[in-house]
Amino acid sequence: MSGKRIVNAYKTVNKDQAYALSEAVKIVKENATAKFDETIDIAVNLGVDPKYADQMVRGVCALPHGTGKTVRVAVFAQGEKADEAKAAGADIVGAENLVDSILAGKVDFDRCIATPDMMGMAGRVARVLGPKGLMPNPKLGTVTTDVANAVKKAKAGEVQYRVEKNGIVHAGIGKASFSEQQIVENAKAFIDAIIKAKPAGAKGTYMKKISLSSTMGVGVKVDSSAL
């Protein structure tokens, strides 16, 4: 964002005020004036310490209106399951050849799925996929025999989330071109998923702060008490 635009954007936001979700969405959309379709991001500050296993927050959330992003999906599968994955719209399907491609540095996908019998093979590229958050995981529904359904969900705008070490979990929940109502409904779905994922070890206030922003815009606090 240019200096002038960022100054003008800050004039529309009271940084000490927490806005109702619909009002926050309106402000963020109005300030998303870049020459490209900015992503709308949500960040939730949680009262957890993820270094303890019983305070980890991780999962998947199906957004009612998708993310607005084209998701490229790779699948470790062979035989009939490979055919199912291709039919469901997977961009890359393979076995040994997919391992070789990843080891050669070609990781041109946003989600990786594997059938259970292929996890040994997927494990060979864990050191590449793990740091990128792409390693197939049963808890996230990316290790499954129902590869067709997993591919369709990923393509439809299912988002994965994982709390960072500072207690913040964030995700892209749409585009600036979405209607205010679509962004509100996606935000509510994401917040509901985070609430349902509250870990057993969480003490005190679980949801401390929520904010919305666009790729080039300013952050806007959301009143979490109304949610």
Domain ranges of the chain: 16-67+158-226, 73-155
Residue in 65, 39, 64, 19 with CA at minimum distance from that of residue 216 = 39
Q: State which CATH number among 3.90.228.20, 3.40.50.300, 3.40.50.790, 3.40.50.2300 fits the domain covering 73-155.
A: 3.40.50.790
DSSP 62: E
Predicted local distance difference test score (pLDDT) of residue 78? 97
pLDDT tens-place string over residues 11-67:
678 888 999 999 999 999 999 989 999 999 999 999 999 999 999 999 999 999 999
Amino acid at 103: L
Low-confidence ranges of the chain (pLDDT < 70): 1-11
For the entire predicted model, the pTM comes to 0.85
Q: State which CATH number among 1.10.3720.10, 3.30.190.20, 3.40.1080.10, 3.40.47.10 fits the domain covering 16-67+158-226.
A: 3.30.190.20
Q: Do domains 16-67+158-226 and 73-155 have the same CATH topology?
A: no
The greatest distance separating any two alpha carbons of the chain, rounded to the nearest whole angstrom, comes to: 59
